[in-house]
Amino acid sequence: MSVHLPPDLAGAPLDDTDRLLIEHLSRDGRASYAEIGLLVNLSATAVRRRIDRLRARGVVRGFTVVLDPALLGWRTEAFVEVYCRARTSPEELLASLRQFPEVVAAWTVTGDPDALVHLRASDTRHLEAVIERIRKEPGVQRSRSSVVLSRLIG
């Protein structure tokens, strides 16, 4: 996986070593400083200092675990375009969407829909029920859904 970053991010420009560190961290966030150091030709202490600096600058915001949704029972995935009623603020929509554990992510977008919502559900019946519940939220006027058939990248 190659991480494409602009030359200047959060202040001072990133050098080639910073970019390599970020690339290795994106592949394996649990790799030790010593393991990464071997890959970028730095000591573990130097790697730790650089990663600490990247964290302090906000370039690296944290480390996370990547779960397999299918193994957790979330086998159905969809993207839902949400169209809001007049005067529905993004904050109101956010408050509505936060109550649904099936919502993986949500964005306000340009164009006709007001938001794009990424959902995961156990099956199509579960997905349909969640979409219907979202459509009943006070600020939501209507929605349009696309069910994911297969993931090409990511």
The pLDDT of 138-151, averaged and rounded, is 97
> Over 70: is that where the pLDDT of 2 sits?
no
Query: How far is Cα 130 from Cα 61, in angstroms, rounded to an integer?
Result: 31
Of the pLDDT bands very low, low, confident and very high (cuts 50, 70, 90), residue 148 is very high
Instruction: Tell me the CATH number for domain 69-147.
Output: 3.30.70.920
pLDDT in tens, 102-143: 999 999 999 999 999 999 999 999 999 999 999 999 999 999
pLDDT in tens, 5-34: 555 444 678 999 999 999 999 999 999 999
For 13, phi then psi, to 5°, come to -65, 150
Contact (CB, 8 A) for 117 and 134: yes
* Domain layout of the chain by residue ranges: 1-66, 69-147
> Over 80: is that where the pLDDT of 1 sits?
no
* 1-66 shares its CATH topology with 69-147: no
Q: Domain 1-66 falls in which CATH fold?
A: Arc Repressor Mutant, subunit A (1.10.10)
> Over 90: is that where the pLDDT of 94 sits?
yes
Query: How far is Cα 96 from Cα 136, in angstroms, rounded to an integer?
Result: 10
Of the pLDDT bands very low, low, confident and very high (cuts 50, 70, 90), residue 4 is low
Mutual orientation of helices 44-57 and 16-27 as an angle, nearest 10°? 90
What is the pTM assigned to this prediction?
A: 0.75
